[in-house]
């Protein structure tokens, strides 16, 4: 793509120009919008809509407020607007300007804020935690006898998380006048309008009911925001400002106000193509020039251009497991009226759009409230239904883990479906990388965990889940894949048994992840050149093993290796070694496990998989080292 950006010099000139601070912030924010688009399109992913809705308030607080006052903290609890926060910090000189090219790169800026980035105070991305973190900041400063002011920005969709409301309970009691909560009330969440997904009604009254000094203002109009901040400062009380913003504010066709109640917002996440990009930049430039000229402001700017090499046109890939899952679930639900689907505001990502269309009375949108959703599913199961519960794997298996356990103690049947499972995609960062879900679900009684390798195995996994008497966790890879090998024709999957993808000698390797298995296949091609020919087994069962079947597969082999798309600790490999072969004599076999051994890094998929030693070249070397050690 041909991309344009505003240079460091343009921002420095603006910041040094003597003009009304409100006018300066308006120009600054729109220049940031140009660079936000640049950063996201250069990265190939990111969140445009919420970055545009929040940039005006962010710029004012991180620029004007922090310039005037001491010990001011600001962070965004929702984290989706990280491009806006990074862009403001870069443009204000709080981050190196070269990082404009490093969004979602392994050596740059993570998809969600992380404290390894300079001037980032806390990790965010997992929703609902921000106000609680702000309370900890305030109490710590009090212990140090230091005055502070803490601004924490939340999203309106984020307010569906229960921790938000827990965190409000003691604010007045503890006299937390240092706290100012900013709600980016842009009316949309991941998929649809907040009012359609989980209507929050009168937000101002809700915050006031907790005793907070609460007012509303136009959050995209910094003059109104400034007045609101002055008004709340008249009272020494914990405060909340409901920022009435527009998702995608600044580019007319990106603005959520154009959409009806059930329409999907198209610019929540992801990049845009060249045509949309050019149209957006033109509108921003024209708007800026008109504002500068009409207000007779002595400032001008120039665009710099760059060819992006990071937004290549996607190649057509043959396997899409989310689409396969969608079709399989609809097929099962067509003959089983007891199947119901519950979603946590991720209908696009979890493949439920067609299910909702076909079975509107059996689809239940629960919003960003995983604990509530899982407990609802438990009651569906108690009433004789078969609930399929959906969210990203990182969220579905952690926050509502207690509720999942509670459901299991009732000895009912629930199917949990976690998308975006594993190390990839690497762009969003560790809050979204599900590399501890197998460990999280291991303590749930009567639960079987399955990760299908391809579309056919996804269909068979859904069929198995429907027919099993146990709870099921289906771990789904969300990225399209192109498996470089032929998968044997199968009409069922048998509990605890895998599929031999290729035969070999001396070394047998068990792996379950489609993305890692693709790298493993390429690694085998490299190993063969070194006269090492491993037997490769796809093993979809993450916690159930047929010792007899496995015994047959590993007999006469010297080395058994397992590969995890997960932390080594608590992962498949540990379970395999401790459970699958506990009744097998392995005195002549060397057992080894490969997997993730540190907090996942954010970056391109290629960068992340290579950094964590799971690319084909790194796997090849690790396998050689294990054999030779």
| Pair 62, 119 in one domain | yes
Question: With 0-12 CB in 10 A as exposed, 13-18 as middle and 19+ as buried, what is 105?
Answer: buried
| Pair 335, 215 in one domain | no
Render pLDDT for 239-269 as a digit per residue (tens, 0 to 9).
999 999 999 999 999 998 888 777 888 888 8
| Pair 446, 523 in one domain | no
| Pair 152, 89 in one domain | yes
pTM exceeds 0.75, yes or no: yes
| Pair 429, 568 in one domain | no
**The pLDDT of residue 270 is above 90:** no
| Pair 471, 512 in one domain | no
Does residue 401 sit within a domain? yes
For 239, the domain range is 46-268
Length of the chain: 629
**The pLDDT of residue 309 is above 80:** no
CATH of the domain at 470: 3.40.50.970
One DSSP character per residue, 404-473 reads HHHHHHTT---EEEEES-BS---SS-TTT-BSSHHHHHTTSTTEEEE--SSHHHHHHHHHHHHH-SSEEE
Strands of the sheet with 213-218, listed across from one edge: 72-76, 149-155, 179-185, 239-244, 213-218
Does residue 17 sit within a domain? no
Does residue 421 sit within a domain? yes
Higher model confidence: residue 526 or residue 197?
526
Residue-averaged pLDDT of the chain: 94
Q: Which of 414, 455, 412, 420 is nearest to 437 (CA)?
A: 420
| Pair 61, 146 in one domain | yes
| Pair 194, 108 in one domain | yes
Does residue 22 sit within a domain? no
CA 548/CA 562 separation, integer angstroms? 18
| Pair 262, 130 in one domain | yes
Last residue of a domain, one of 475, 508, 530: 475
| Pair 460, 533 in one domain | no
Do you find a cis peptide bond into 425, omega within 30 degrees of 0? Answer: yes
CA 511/CA 502 separation, integer angstroms? 12
What are the b/e assignments for 156-190, b being 16+ CB within 10 Å?
bbbbbbebbeebbeebeeeebbbbbbbbbbbbbbb
- Tell me the backbone φ, ψ of residue 578, rounded to 5 degrees: -85, -25
Does residue 304 sit within a domain? no
| Pair 207, 106 in one domain | yes
Does residue 490 sit within a domain? no
Does residue 374 sit within a domain? yes
CA 129/CA 162 separation, integer angstroms? 10
Last residue of a domain, one of 226, 246, 268: 268
* Strands 2-6 and 303-307, bridge-based pairing: antiparallel
Render pLDDT for 532-574 as a digit per residue (tens, 0 to 9).
999 999 999 999 999 999 999 999 899 999 999 999 999 999 9
| Pair 458, 535 in one domain | no
CATH of the domain at 564: 3.40.50.920
The residue-averaged pLDDT of 321-326 equals: 97
Render pLDDT for 167-201 as a digit per residue (tens, 0 to 9).
999 999 999 999 999 999 999 888 888 888 889 89
Number of domains in the chain: 3
Does residue 588 sit within a domain? yes
């Amino acid at each position: 793509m041909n991309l344009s950006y505003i240079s460091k010099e343009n921002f420095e000139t603006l910041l040094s120009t003597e003009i009304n601070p409100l006018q300066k912030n308006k120009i600054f924010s729109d220049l940031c919008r140009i660079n936000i688009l640049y950063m996201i399109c250069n990265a190939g992913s990111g969140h445009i809509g919420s970055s545009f809705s929040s940039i005006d308030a962010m710029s004012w607080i991180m620029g004007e407020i922090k310039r005037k006052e001491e010990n001011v903290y600001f962070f965004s609890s929702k984290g989706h607007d990280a491009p806006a926060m990074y862009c403001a910090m870069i443009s204000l000189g709080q981050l190196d300007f070269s990082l404009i090219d490093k969004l979602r790169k392994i050596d740059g800026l993570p998809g969600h804020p992380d404290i390894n980035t300079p001037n980032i105070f806390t990790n965010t991305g997992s929703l609902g935690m921000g106000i609680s973190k702000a309370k900890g900041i305030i109490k710590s400063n009090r212990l140090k006898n230091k005055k502070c002011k803490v601004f924490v920005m939340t999203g309106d969709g984020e307010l569906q998380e229960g921790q938000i409301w827990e965190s409000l309970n003691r604010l007045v009691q503890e006299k937390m006048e240092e706290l100012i909560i900013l709600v980016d009330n842009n009316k949309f969440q991941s998929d649809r309008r907040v009012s359609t997904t989980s209507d929050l009604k009168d937000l101002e009254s809700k915050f006031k009911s907790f005793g907070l000094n609460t007012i509303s203002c136009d959050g995209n109009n910094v003059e109104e925001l400034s007045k609101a901040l002055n008004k709340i400062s008249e009272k020494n009380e914990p405060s909340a400002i409901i920022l009435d913003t527009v998702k995608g504010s600044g580019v007319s066709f990106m603005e959520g106000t154009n959409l009806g109640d059930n329409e999907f917002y198209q610019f929540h996440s992801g990049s845009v193509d060249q045509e949309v990009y050019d149209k957006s930049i033109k509108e921003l430039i024209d708007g800026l020039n008109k504002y500068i000229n009409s207000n007779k402001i002595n400032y001008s700017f120039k665009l710099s251009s760059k060819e992006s090499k990071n937004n290549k046109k996607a190649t057509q890939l043959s396997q899409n497991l989310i689409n396969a899952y969608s079709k399989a679930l609809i097929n099962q639900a067509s003959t089983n009226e007891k199947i119901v689907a519950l979603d946590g505001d991720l209908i696009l990502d979890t493949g439920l759009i067609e299910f909702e269309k076909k079975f509107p009375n059996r689809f239940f949108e629960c919003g960003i409230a995983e604990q509530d959703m899982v407990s609802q599913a438990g009651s569906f199961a108690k009433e004789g239904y078969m609930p399929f519960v959906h969210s990203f794997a990182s969220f579905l298996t952690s926050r509502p883990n207690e509720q999942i356990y509670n459901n299991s103690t009732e000895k009912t049947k629930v199917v949990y479906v976690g998308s975006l499972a594993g190390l990839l995609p690497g762009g969003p960062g560790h809050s979204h990388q599900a590399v501890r879900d197998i460990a999280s679900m291991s303590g749930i009684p009567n639960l079987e965990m399955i990760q299908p390798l391809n579309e056919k195995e996804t269909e068979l996994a859904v069929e198995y889940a429907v027919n099993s008497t146990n709870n099921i966790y289906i771990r789904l890879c969300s990225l399209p894949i192109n498996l470089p090998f032929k998968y044997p024709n199968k009409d069922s999957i048998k509990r605890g048994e895998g599929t031999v993808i290729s035969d070999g000698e001396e070394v047998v390797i068990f792996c379950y992840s489609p993305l890692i298995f693709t790298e493993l296949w390429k690694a085998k091609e490299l190993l063969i050149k070194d006269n090492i020919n491993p037997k490769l087994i796809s093993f979809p069962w993450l916690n159930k093993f047929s010792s007899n079947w496995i015994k047959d597969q590993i007999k006469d082999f010297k080395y058994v290796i397992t590969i995890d798309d997960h932390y080594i600790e608590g992962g498949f490999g540990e379970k395999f070694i401790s459970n699958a072969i506990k009744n097998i004599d392995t005195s002549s076999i060397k057992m080894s496990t490969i997997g993730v051994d540190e907090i996942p890094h954010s970056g391109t998929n290629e960068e992340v998989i290579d950094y964590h030693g799971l690319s084909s070249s790194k796997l090849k070397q690790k396998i050689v080292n294990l054999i030779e050690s």
